[in-house]
Each structure stands twice: as structure tokens, then as C-alpha cells.
Amino acid sequence: MKLIDIINKRCNCKVTQIIITSPLGERIAYKDIPNDNKKCYDISLQRGNIDLVITYSADEKLSDDAVSLLTDLIDVYVENRATWEIAENVTKSPDINTGRVNLEEMVKVTTNALVYSGLFDKAAVMFFNEKRMEFRGVYMSSIPPYSDEQIQAFKNKRVPVKKSIIEQLHDYNSNPDDLEKHIELEDKIFRSIDNVKLTNPLIIVPMMTGNKIYGVLITYSNNKYTNTHIFTTRSTARLLNTMMMVVISTQKYEYTTSFYKEIESEMRSKQSLVTLGNYVATIAHEVKNPLISIGGFAKRLMKSVTNDDLKRMAGIIATESIRLEHLTEDILSFSRKRPPKKEKIHLKTLFEGIVPLFETRMTEHNLKINLDIPDDAYIYADIDQIKQVIVNLIANAMNAMESNGTVTISFQEKDGKTSIMISDTGPGIPLEVMPNLFKPFFTTSSSGTGLGLPISRKILNNHNGDLTVYNSKNGAVFTVTLPAE
Ligand code: ADP
């Protein structure tokens, strides 16, 4: 029986959504089931290293007994299976799937390259399961040629892990130059991987994002090891870490795709950007006032001229000057450094003031805004600035959907942070756009300025918060994070 059916039956409720998140913040799996019109409740559980949010609809909240039953059920389930298989019917997020495919491809290319280099006779990668209780093979180099069955067997291989191994891997990581230590690292558990008697030990290098180990890169050579063997294995693991960061976390995509080189050149160009920014702001300021007069006169002309051609031309001048006015306004607000005046804001009231701004657009294009905000949700922010951020994010979402879509606003308070999620049912952010999203003047729209997102992020950074984005199954999800007071 499937996990969701068990919960439904035993807890007398109807699960409408399950979200499972790994320790790396990766959304491993989720399931959305259309909601019947009953009230929905959320339960957040932390099991081992994973976070689960279960949303269910029921007449009332689950009793304490039902919650403890649910917790037990999840425990049993998690104990018995690798978490990424937590329910066969839980559809995996397509972006994460794409991520896995990319990663697998990357691992394949890398392990093959290690063997092609002539330095190693074997190379393989194994990942921890989410509870870090076992390793699971993901790929081994196909050279020397392994049969499909051998590769498949490796992929399905699960190797139990003792805590001491994780400690050793950490230890190993902090002594990058200690050849002896590396080679002496316990390898016997890995010998069973392809049942070959090895003459040398395996070199096992941890793969880590931040200080979290998520897997190991294993290399093996028939020849005597040198520092080059260790160094190459380690550098390759680092390369994989960078890729891992990219594929598991679209939020981090923009930082990590750039690799070191790009970061370096960015650092260099940052200083000139500041200078350029100051010039642009001065020019914008000078241009703004005349623009307002041009626009105003064009509107008056439109009304007073009778010739159709002249009317049309005056109309173009008016619209274009409004567009330029917006651009100068955006440039100025990007360069303006106004410290936020924080106040306690009742979130629902804030949104009730914002939604009417989009009413015409919603009716004309059949768009909806769905407010999923609890009555007692508050944020601490500068009301004008936060309004600017939210209006901008909703407008972007509506631009992306064009027509027939829904923008959903939800709220979460966790670990001293409040988050507002603005998700749409549009096409999501194309991967090639992702790294440029927060760069000033980057836009894919002919009428956009490309300043909306950089300004929004800057405002939030000034609040000690942030703006992040990822693609969900349905579209883009922008998360506004602010410190809870
Ligand atoms: P602008 O809206 O003026 O283009 P922004 O900085 O607000 O500037 O947005 C930059 C780009 O990010 C947009 O041109 C669009 O390509 C992309 N984008 C922003 N929000 C979304 C969204 N919700 N869905 C898809 N793409 C988006």
C-alpha cells in the first residue's frame, strides 16, 4: 500500500500535498493532489536528515494520537527505504530530475575521463542516502568495459555506512596532503563493489557541498600511488561538488555556474560598475524632469489635435516617454541608498492593498491571485519598499504567464526567518536565463528594464533578507526572506 493511502486511512484525512526536502535543501519529492474544499492543515516533521511537510484536508486538525501515529508511519517508511523512493507515486520535481540527469551525465564523463587519463584503472561515484546510513552507487566508469549488468549492479549497490566512516572522511578532507592517511582510509567495505581482488587500496575522496558530505569519488590504480593520484581525485571531486551545487539547488545556480574564473572577473568589474552606476544615476536624474514635461505635452497634443496621423504620433511620444520615465525611476531607485524604515506589517492587509492594483489585468487576461496567508502573519519591513518588491514580483509572474494563470502567495515562518513565496503557473525560468536574472539591465522583454529583480534583491539585502528563485513543477517560485523580529 502506498504511503499516502496509509496516512489517509489511518489518520482519517486526505493528504493533498507532500514535500520532502533533503539536508541540502533539495526538494527530493513532492506530490500534489487536487484539494477537495475542506480546510487544509500542515504538519512539518523532521525525520533524520530530511524535512517533510504534509498538507492534508480534514474537518479538523489531527488529534495528538493521529500525529504520533503519522510520525511512526513515516519513521517506519524512512527506515525501510532510501528516502528518494519514499513513495512510488510521488512525482519528482522535473527540475530536480533534470538536475539528476545532468549530474549523472557529469559523473559519467568524469569517471571515464579519469580512466582515460591513464592514471587510474577504475573510477566510480557513490552517494549517501539522505539519512547517511548507506552509500548508493550512481556511476562507475565504463572503461575498462563493464557489462551493462555489472554497471546496473553497481548502481543498485547499497553499502551500509558506519558513523566512523563519515568522521574519517571529514578528517581526510582536512588533511589534503597526507598521502598515507588517504590510502589507509578504510576501503574494505567498497571491495564488494565489483568483487575484484584489488592489489592496491582504493582512493576515496569525499564529495561535499559546504561541510556536508553527500558522496564519495572512488579511484583505483594498479600502479603505485603518487601525490598526483590523490591530487587528481581530489580536484575531480571538487569539480563535481561545483556541479552538484548547480544541479541540486537552482537557488544557488547563479553563483555556482560562473565557476572561479567568472567570479574573479566579476570582482574586477564590480568596481567599474559602481562608478558606472553613479554616472547612470546622475544622467537618469537629469533626464527625468524633461521627460515628464515631454509626456505631459504629448498627452495634451493628443487631445487637442484633430488630424489622425498627428494624434497617433503624439500617442507614441506619450507612451514612449512613460516607458523612459519608468526606466529612469528604476535606475534612480537602484542607485538610491535609503535605509529601510522597518515596521510591523500585517501581511494579509498589505496584500489586500496590492491585489486591486492588478484587477484590470486579471480580468482582461483571466489571471488570478490566490492568497494563502494566515491571518496572524506579520513581517518587519519598510512598507513602501516591500510593496515595491511584491508588486514587481507579481507583475513579473503575470508577464510570464501572459493569460490564464494563477499567482499564489504563501507564507512561512521558520528558524527566525519569515518567507513569502510568490509562485506562478508560467513557463518557469529557462536555465540559460537563471545566471543573469539578478544582473542589472538583464531582460527578455522588449518593454522591460531589467532592473526589477536587482532592485528587489537590493531592497531585501538592505533588510538583511534575500530574494531567491527556483523552478517548481508549475512555474517559477520567488521567495522573499526577511528576518523575523
Ligand atoms: P524586467 O521585468 O523589466 O524584464 P526583471 O529584473 O524584473 O526585469 O526580470 C528580468 C527577467 O527575468 C525578465 O525579463 C524575465 O525574463 C525573467 N523573469 C522574471 N520573473 C519571471 C517569472 N516569474 N517567470 C519567468 N521569467 C521571469
Q: What is the DSSP string of 21-40?
A: E-TTS-EEEEEE-PPPSS-E
- In the three-class reduction of DSSP (H, G, I as helix; E, B as strand; rest coil), residue 452 is classed as helix
Instruction: Identify the residue whose C-alpha is closest to ligand 1 atom 3.
Output: 448
pTM for this prediction: 0.45
Nearest to 244 by CA among 97, 103, 406: 103
* pLDDT value, residue 195: 57
Instruction: Identify the residue whose C-alpha is closest to ligand 1 atom 20.
Output: 396
My answer on whether omega of the bond before 144 falls inside 30° of 0, hence cis, is: yes
Nearest to 183 by CA among 196, 198, 201, 165: 201
Q: Given a cut of 90, is residue 376 above it in pLDDT?
A: yes
Find the mean pLDDT for residues 80-90. Answer: 36
In the reported structure, the alpha carbon of residue 469 is separated from the centroid of ligand 1 by a whole-number distance in angstroms of 11
**Nearest atom of ligand 1 to the alpha carbon of 392:** 7
**Nearest atom of ligand 1 to the alpha carbon of 453:** 6
Instruction: Identify the residue whose C-alpha is closest to ligand 1 atom 2.
Output: 448
Distance CA 186, CA 199 (A): 15
* pLDDT value, residue 434: 84
Percent of the chain at pLDDT above 90? 16
Determine if ligand 1 sits within 6 Å of the CB of residue 450. yes
Distance CA 65, CA 59 (A): 16
Instruction: Identify the residue whose C-alpha is closest to ligand 1 atom 12.
Output: 437
Q: Give the lowest-confidence range in 91-95, 370-374, 421-425, 450-454.
A: 91-95
Distance CA 199, CA 383 (A): 68
Residue scoring higher pLDDT (93 or 346): 346
In the reported structure, the alpha carbon of residue 101 is separated from the centroid of ligand 1 by a whole-number distance in angstroms of 26
Find the mean pLDDT for residues 317-321. Answer: 84
- In the three-class reduction of DSSP (H, G, I as helix; E, B as strand; rest coil), residue 373 is classed as coil
Contact call for residues 250 and 433 (beta carbons, < 8 A) = no
* CA-based R_g, the chain, Å: 27
Distance CA 263, CA 252 (A): 14
**Nearest atom of ligand 1 to the alpha carbon of 426:** 24
Banded pLDDT at 395 (limits 50, 70, 90): very high
Contact call for residues 428 and 355 (beta carbons, < 8 A) = no
* pLDDT value, residue 315: 86
Grid coordinates given for 74: 513515516
Determine if ligand 1 sits within 6 Å of the CB of residue 402. no
The residues near 293 (Cβ < 8 Å, ≥ 6 apart) are none
Find the mean pLDDT for residues 397-411. Answer: 93
List beta partners, residue 367: 405
Determine if ligand 1 sits within 6 Å of the CB of residue 452. yes
In the reported structure, the alpha carbon of residue 359 is separated from the centroid of ligand 1 by a whole-number distance in angstroms of 20
Q: Give the lowest-confidence range in 141-150, 251-260, 261-270, 357-366.
A: 251-260
**Nearest atom of ligand 1 to the alpha carbon of 444:** 14
Find the mean pLDDT for residues 87-105. Answer: 42
* pLDDT value, residue 446: 75
Determine if ligand 1 sits within 6 Å of the CB of residue 276. no
Determine if ligand 1 sits within 6 Å of the CB of residue 426. yes
Q: Given a cut of 80, is residue 90 above it in pLDDT?
A: no
List beta partners, residue 137: 126
Distance CA 122, CA 115 (A): 6
Beta 367-372 vs 405-414: how paired, if at all? Answer: parallel
Find the mean pLDDT for residues 145-163. Answer: 75
In the reported structure, the alpha carbon of residue 102 is separated from the centroid of ligand 1 by a whole-number distance in angstroms of 25
Q: Which of 453, 456, 467, 474 to mutate to test the pocket of ligand 1 (most atoms within 8 A of CB)?
A: 453
List beta partners, residue 42: 55
Distance CA 5, CA 8 (A): 5
**Nearest atom of ligand 1 to the alpha carbon of 433:** 16
Find the mean pLDDT for residues 163-188. Answer: 71
Q: Give the lowest-confidence range in 13-27, 69-83, 343-357, 407-421.
A: 69-83
Sign of CA dihedral 336, 342, 343, 349: positive
Find the mean pLDDT for residues 466-476. Answer: 90
Q: Give the lowest-confidence range in 216-225, 361-370, 418-427.
A: 216-225
Q: Give the lowest-confidence range in 19-28, 280-289, 430-439, 447-456.
A: 19-28
* pLDDT value, residue 347: 96
Residue scoring higher pLDDT (90 or 264): 264
* pLDDT value, residue 346: 96
* pLDDT value, residue 356: 87
In the reported structure, the alpha carbon of residue 316 is separated from the centroid of ligand 1 by a whole-number distance in angstroms of 25
38-70 pLDDT, tens digit each = 788 888 877 665 677 888 888 888 887 777 777
**Nearest atom of ligand 1 to the alpha carbon of 443:** 14
* pLDDT value, residue 417: 92
Residue scoring higher pLDDT (47 or 291): 291
Q: Given a cut of 90, is residue 405 above it in pLDDT?
A: yes
Percent of the chain at pLDDT above 70? 71
* pLDDT value, residue 343: 93
Mean pLDDT of the chain: 75
Q: Given a cut of 90, is residue 274 above it in pLDDT?
A: no
* pLDDT value, residue 335: 66
Q: How many residues does the chain have?
A: 485
Q: What's the Cα-to-Cα distance from 169 to each of 130, 166, 183, 208, 212, rounded to whole Å?
A: 17, 5, 12, 10, 11
Find the mean pLDDT for residues 273-277. Answer: 55
**Nearest atom of ligand 1 to the alpha carbon of 442:** 10
* pLDDT value, residue 401: 94
Residue that the C-alpha cell 566512523 belongs to: 164
Instruction: Identify the residue whose C-alpha is closest to ligand 1 atom 23.
Output: 397
Distance CA 364, CA 113 (A): 56
Q: Given a cut of 80, is residue 22 above it in pLDDT?
A: no
In terms of average pLDDT, the best of 111-120, 223-232, 285-294, 453-462 is 453-462
Determine if ligand 1 sits within 6 Å of the CB of residue 453. yes
In terms of average pLDDT, the best of 206-210, 263-267, 338-342 is 338-342
Q: What's the Cα-to-Cα distance from 199 to each of 159, 192, 196, 202, rounded to whole Å?
A: 21, 14, 9, 9
202-261 pLDDT, tens digit each = 888 888 766 667 788 888 888 888 888 888 888 888 877 776 665 554 333 333 333 334
Instruction: Identify the residue whose C-alpha is closest to ligand 1 atom 11.
Output: 443
Determine if ligand 1 sits within 6 Å of the CB of residue 448. yes
Contact call for residues 169 and 135 (beta carbons, < 8 A) = no
In terms of average pLDDT, the best of 58-62, 153-157, 178-182, 390-394 is 390-394
Nearest to 425 by CA among 404, 395, 453: 404
The residues near 362 (Cβ < 8 Å, ≥ 6 apart) are 368, 369
Q: Given a cut of 70, is residue 102 above it in pLDDT?
A: no
Distance CA 122, CA 229 (A): 12
